[in-house]
Amino acid sequence: MIPNLSKTPEIRGMDRDDASGGFAREAPAAPAPADRPVEFWPTAAIRAALENDDLSVWQRIVVAIKRDPYGRTARQVEEVLETAQPYGVSRAMSEVLTRTREHLEANECAEVAKHVHLLLERSGLGEHEFASRIGVPAEDFAAYLRGSVSPPASLMIRMRRLSDRFAKMRNQRAGQDQPGT
């Protein structure tokens, strides 16, 4: 039996065209709100933007991902890529996510390395002595200084405490050595 389509208001995304009595083209997916930042788009708008062939919209999404690689837009793109049929831009967006996150991680490791250097310098200890006093092999500590590995948060606290203790001792000695104190 063939269903009576003239009484069905909507079938598989098709809108009823009342003027002609037939069906119009498939309803467009949720358009990307052009006046709003990408970070505030709903996931449906991200999905629609990725399915369309509009390079300028893709670029806006890439900029949002680069701005915040683990933010809302990045998570939405991940969700769309996981649940959607592969299409032209999906591989490129996946690559943007991967590379942007790797770049962020490298920058964070470099920032941690700078902080470890500051703690070491502030302590006045040598690298081997500092490593020994925080309980790590000298090779591991050297990796922290290079930024190739980041220490756990608990070890960063241990390093700060050691640095504080030795900086305080140095300052006390410096105060005793000055005349008039």
Is position 1 within any domain?
no
Do 80 and 43 meet the contact criterion of CB atoms below 8 Å apart?
A: yes
Do 57 and 93 meet the contact criterion of CB atoms below 8 Å apart?
A: no
The band of 179, judged by pLDDT with boundaries at 50, 70 and 90, is: low
Distance CA 72, CA 39 (A): 6
Per residue in 59-116, pLDDT (tens digit) is 999 999 999 999 999 999 999 999 877 667 888 999 999 999 999 999 999 999 999 9
Per residue in 102-117, pLDDT (tens digit) is 999 999 999 999 999 9
Calculate the CA 71 to chain-centre distance. 6
Is position 6 within any domain?
no
Which of 88, 117, 137 corresponds to the end of one domain?
A: 88
Pair 84, 118 in one domain: no
Percent of the chain whose predicted confidence (pLDDT) is above 90 = 63
Backbone Cα Rg of the chain: 29
Our count of domains for the chain comes to: 2
For 55, the domain range is 14-88
Pair 44, 76 in one domain: yes
Beta bridge partners of 26: 14
Task: Output the domain CATH number for residue 117.
Answer: 1.10.260
Indicate the DSSP class of residue 136.
-
